[in-house]
Structure formats: structure tokens, C-alpha cells
Amino acid sequence: MGYDPAAALLVVDVQNDFADRTGSLYVAGGEEVAELINQQVASAQDAGAVIVYTQDWHPRSTPHFAKDGGMWPVHCVADTWGAEFYPDLVVVDNAIRIRKGVGGEDGYSAFNLRDPESAEQSTTGLADSLRSRGVERVVIAGLALDYCVKETAVDAISEGLTATVIADATRAVNLRPVTEPGR
């Protein structure tokens, strides 16, 4: 990916509830991304790039969850097995860590949070943190492509960063699976 100190690798939500087959919001093939991401982490580290890990980190009740009026099953509840990083993922000590949804907001993007009722947006502080380190471009991998990875890429571009998504190192939830035309 051509990492250097002006780049950051964003590892999005590779957590047990998404990557483990027994997770409450398992993403098909999610367990497969860890090895590919680990290779990217090693390359980024060797080049002096910034590494960022995000985690969904929800309270037990939030309008984000179906049981509370949202669309998602309960997942990644703070301090539970489901919220922990998937064990096959290499997590480096000197990385930036962003926990999303801590206050019950929708935390799709690594950059911004959104109140699920008012739609009011707030920042995670990641953009300022990356700018202060001289980061100009981000490389994004993780789960899930059609929600958190996509929203992170869109917000990165909105923040003036160049964004690349490593398609092989992500998987989609596919809540609305693509069907063949005419079916």
C-alpha cells in the first residue's frame, strides 16, 4: 500500500461479535480478514505509519439496538467478549484506539458519531489526531464494508484525506443481499 509516516492504517471493528461465527452480528467471512490485516499492520509499522483500531463499544441499551427500537441485534456491549478484538488480530500497543457508540450513538464512522434519535453529529477526534501527526492519506480495512468501513471512508474524504479501502481485507454484512436481476 506504500505506507510512510504520512499514512494511517485504519482497522475497523474487527471484534468477536462481527468476526467470530458465534458473534451476535457475525459478518460472513469476517474471520478471514484478520490475517490480511495483520500483514498490513506489519507493513504500516515498518514504514512508520500511524495505526488506528476502532471498536464498537455500546451500552447495554441504546436506540441503536432492535430491542430498543433500532435495527441491530445487541452487539459489542462494552466490556463483554463480543466487544473484544478478534483474537487472531494483531493489536499493536502504540496504536490510536477509537471506541464508537459509547454513549449509545450510532458509531458507524471512525471519524463521527450520530445520535440515533436527533441525527446530531459529533466527532471522535480522529481527524484532528491524524492531522496533528501529519497524516494525509488513510488505508482502511475491517468490518463491515457496507456500514462502518464505508462510512469511515466517506468521512475520511470529507476531512480532506485520501482514502483507500482494501477490498480483500473487509467483508459486508449484506442486510439486503444482492439478488440476480429478474428474480
| Residues forming the active site | 13, 100, 148
The one-character DSSP state at 136 is -
What grid cell was written down for 72? 441491530
What grid cell was written down for 44? 504500516
Please state, in angstroms and rounded to a whole number, the distance separating the CA atoms of residues 176 and 18: 17
Identify which of 36, 31, 62 has the alpha carbon closest to the alpha carbon of residue 139.
36
The beta strand positions in 61-179, using DSSP E, are 96-100, 112-114, 121-123, 137-143, 162-171
Beta partners for residue 54, in sequence order: 12, 98
3-class SS of residue 117: coil
